Amino acid sequence: MINLEIPRKYGALVSQAHQVAANIFRPNSRKYDRAEHSYPKELDMLASLLDGLNAAGGADGASAAGVRRDAVQDSGNRNGSNLATVLGVMELCWGDVGLLLSMPRQGLGNSAIASVANEEQLKRFEGRWAAMAITEPGCGSDSANIRTSAVLDGDHYVLNGEKIYVTSGERADLVVVWATLDRKLGRAAIKSFVVEKGTPGFELVRLEHKLGIRASDTAAFVLKDVRVPKENLLGSPEVDVQKGFAGVMQTFDNTRPLVAGMAVGLTRACLEETRKLIESTGLVIDYALPAHSQCSAVADYLRMEADYEAARLLTLQAAWMADNRQPNSLQASMAKAKAGRTCVAVALKCVELAGSLGYAEGEEGPGLLEKWARDAKILDIFEGTQQIQLLIVARRLLGKTSAELK
C-alpha cells in the first residue's frame, strides 16, 4: 500500500530540488517572463551538473527527465523513478514552471523515449534533448484524429503534416512526432517517430507568444516529405487493431503525473505567499475551528489548502502505481484533472485575496502572483485538457470504450 509520506531516501533529492528552485528558478522567474523567447543561460550549468549526476547514477529523479516503468524486483512496495521525478518536479515548479520546461535534455519527448524506446534507442538518443509533437491545427486533445502521415519507403518513413504547440521545439535536438500509418485503421495506426532537428523538410515556421510559461519556447512545425529512418520509430511497427494505440498512450500514463506535479508545485507557491499575507494582517488560520466560523479570507485559504492536499496525494498515487507496474491510466487522469483545475482556481483566488499586491508585477513574493496565475492555465490544458481527463475518468469508471462514450 502507498505510504503518503515522502520516502526517506528521497529527502536529499527534494532538498536539492528546492535549493535549485529557490536560488536559480525563483530569482530569474520575472526576468525570463519579460524576455520571452530568450534562452535562460543560467540553466546550462545546472543541466551540466544534472548530466554528471545522472552519469554517476546519483540523480534518480532529480531532474525532469523521462521516466520508465521499472521492473519490480520483489513483492514489496517500490519507490522508483516515477515517484522521484514527480517529487523533484513539484519542488522545481515551486520556483518556476517555464524554467523547468526550458531545462536542456529534460523535455516531454525524453519521457516518451524513456517510456517506449528499446535498449538500442535508449542508448542512441541518450543525452539528447527531445521535444514532443502531438497537437495539430485540426487535432487538439483528441490524439486519435492525428492527420500527420507516415508512409514506409524502403528503409525510411516519409512524414507529412503540421504540428503546433511543441514545447521546447526550437531548442531541442530531437522531436518525437506522432503520426499515423493509415488513417483508415484509426487509433491503432498511430505511432511515434524520433525526428532529428535539421532533417530536410522539417521546418520551424514560428514561435508562439503566450499567456504564461514565457521562459519556455513553444514552436510550430511543417513536415514536408521528411525522411525518418525505420530505426527511429518508437515501439512496434505492427498495427494491432485489438490493442489500439496503447503503446504511444503509455507515454501519457507517465507524463500526466508529471504535469500534475508541476501544478502541485505552483499551487503550493501561491498558497505560501497568500498565507504570509493573511498572517501579516493579524489573522490566525486555526485548524481546530470549522472554516465557516472563521473570517472569509481564512475560510477561502482552508478550502484551497484542502484541494491542494487532494491534488498532491492523487499525484503521488499515480506515480507510485507506475513504479509498481500497476495500470494507472485512471489515476494519472484523475491527478492531472484535479491538480490542473486546483492550480488555476487557487492562483486566481490568491490574486484576488492579495488585491493590488497580487495584480501588479513584482520581482518576488506576492508580486509573482499575477505571473503564477498566467502560468497556471497551461497546466490545465497541455497533456490533455481538463475535459479530456474527465472523459477518460468517466470511461474507466463506467467501463465504456471511446466509441461508446464521447
* 130-234: CATH architecture: Beta Barrel (2.40)
Tell me, what amino acid is at 326? Q
What is the mean predicted confidence (pLDDT) over 142-165?
93
**pTM given for the model:** 0.92
Q: Report CA-CA distances (Å) from 311 to 75, 96, 254, 260, 325.
A: 28, 19, 16, 8, 21
- Model pLDDT for residues 247-285, shown as the tens digit of each residue: 556 678 888 999 999 999 999 999 999 999 999 999 999
What CATH superfamily is the domain 246-398?
Butyryl-CoA Dehydrogenase, subunit A, domain 3 (1.20.140.10)
What residues does CATH 1.20.140.10 cover in the chain?
246-398
pLDDT category, 62, cuts 50, 70, 90? very low
- Quick check: 315 and 257 in contact, CB under 8 A? yes
**pLDDT for residue 349:** 98
Tell me, what amino acid is at 26? R
The answer for 341, left when phi > 0, alpha when psi is -120 to 50, beta otherwise, is: alpha
Tell me the average pLDDT of the chain: 89
- Quick check: 216 and 150 in contact, CB under 8 A? no
Is the pLDDT at 60 greater than 80? The verdict is no
For 172, the 3-state DSSP assignment is: coil
C-alpha cell belonging to residue 276: 504570509
Diameter over CA atoms, the chain: 73
Q: Which CATH number fits domain 8-124: 1.10.3470, 2.40.10, 1.20.120, 1.10.540?
A: 1.10.540
What residues does CATH 2.40.110.10 cover in the chain?
130-234
For cell 530569482, the residue is 27
Is the pLDDT at 76 greater than 70? The verdict is no
Is 383 noted as a catalytic residue in this protein?
yes
- Quick check: 221 and 176 in contact, CB under 8 A? no
- Model pLDDT for residues 86-136, shown as the tens digit of each residue: 999 999 999 999 999 999 888 888 888 887 889 999 999 988 999 999 999
C-alpha cell belonging to residue 196: 532529428
Please tell me which residue in 126, 170, 383, 404 is annotated as part of the active site: 383
**pLDDT for residue 64:** 40
